[in-house]
Amino acid sequence: MQRHRISSRLSVATVALPVLVAAAVHASPAVADTEFTNPYSTDTADNIVAFGDSFTANSDSYVNDNPDQYPTYPRTAGCLTAPDAWPALAGSLTGRPVQNWACNTHTTGQMLDRIDQAVAAGAVNNTTLVILAAGMNDQRQAVPDATIIDNLVTAVTKIRAVAPDAQIGILGRLATTDVEGRFCDQNTVPDQPTGALDPVTAFQETANQANQKAAADRAGTAFIDVRSMTVTEHSTCAPDAQRYVSGITDTTTPDYNMPAHPSLAGSTYLAQQVAALSAATTPETTL
């Protein structure tokens, strides 16, 4: 049976499965004593800086509920960030130092405040690759699309004001619903994902995708259209090994930190897309 887990270590040289601490559906007291290796760096030369929501922070559910029991779990300015979230994996792929300024539950408006914090901390400079990955929480809070787009464009403007030569990309969201609009939230039988049509989530996902693309077009930045890349074969309704986002009740998706969030395979996929952008000579494109 595949289980939710807490990851304890992450190689800084290669993207590989971290050493795992066994965890069943509920954390054991022994897990609370885990020592975590922090893959994030204070080095800001040629760095990657990530901003976004819980798909980028992706901190472990047990840690979220009991943060004081995990003093070595990575965190940035008060926000927990998983040692195997995609920014850490992107750092391994590219060899670039990484700072993860994402925060669970954050909207695009809250992301603007995090950008101000990161700038004040000296994390953003002309050698930085900045990735913006937010918008879905705005959808869930019924923030107008025009406001979401404006916030994303403002984020780019803030970064360019202090680092005009920084490379900037907007990272799309892994697909939760499949091409038919199903959300398979009950995954307890191997390779038999179970769910139902979820038109609300499907609509929010496509609206988020459209807003991110519109913002990238207006700001002249790269847009990595992750939903289009993953909706057919990697949603919650995909076979276990191909599933990039876990369900709500889920014992079959390998290696995930939170329900309805990226699996390790999903985070690795996001890291690969960011690494490709890092290597791109002409970043202002849709990947």
How many helices and strands, by DSSP H and E, does the chain display? 9, 12
> What mean pLDDT is predicted for residues 134-160?
99
For residue 238, the cross-strand partners are none
- Find all residues with CB under 8 Å of 236, minimum gap 6, and list them: 176, 177, 178, 182, 183, 184, 185, 187, 193, 195, 243, 245, 246, 247, 260
Beta strand segments in 90-155, E? 98-100, 129-133
- pLDDT value of position 103: 99
CA distance 132 to 176: 19
CA distance 177 to 197: 8
CA atoms within 13 A on the CB side of 96: 24
Which domains, ranges and CATH numbers included, belong to the chain?
Answer: 6-279 (3.40.50.1110)
Instruction: Kindly state the tokens that stand for 271.
Output: 């890291």
> What mean pLDDT is predicted for residues 178-203?
98
- pLDDT value of position 280: 83
> What mean pLDDT is predicted for residues 80-108?
99
Mean pLDDT score of the chain, rounded to an integer? Answer: 90
pLDDT tens digits for 17-46? 232 222 333 333 335 568 899 999 999 999
CA distance 126 to 113: 20
Split at pLDDT 50, 70, 90, the class of 3 is very low
CA distance 136 to 158: 21
Does this model's pTM top 0.75? yes
pLDDT exceeds cutoff 70 at 181: yes
Task: Name the one residue in this structure whose structure tokens are 């999903």.
Answer: 266
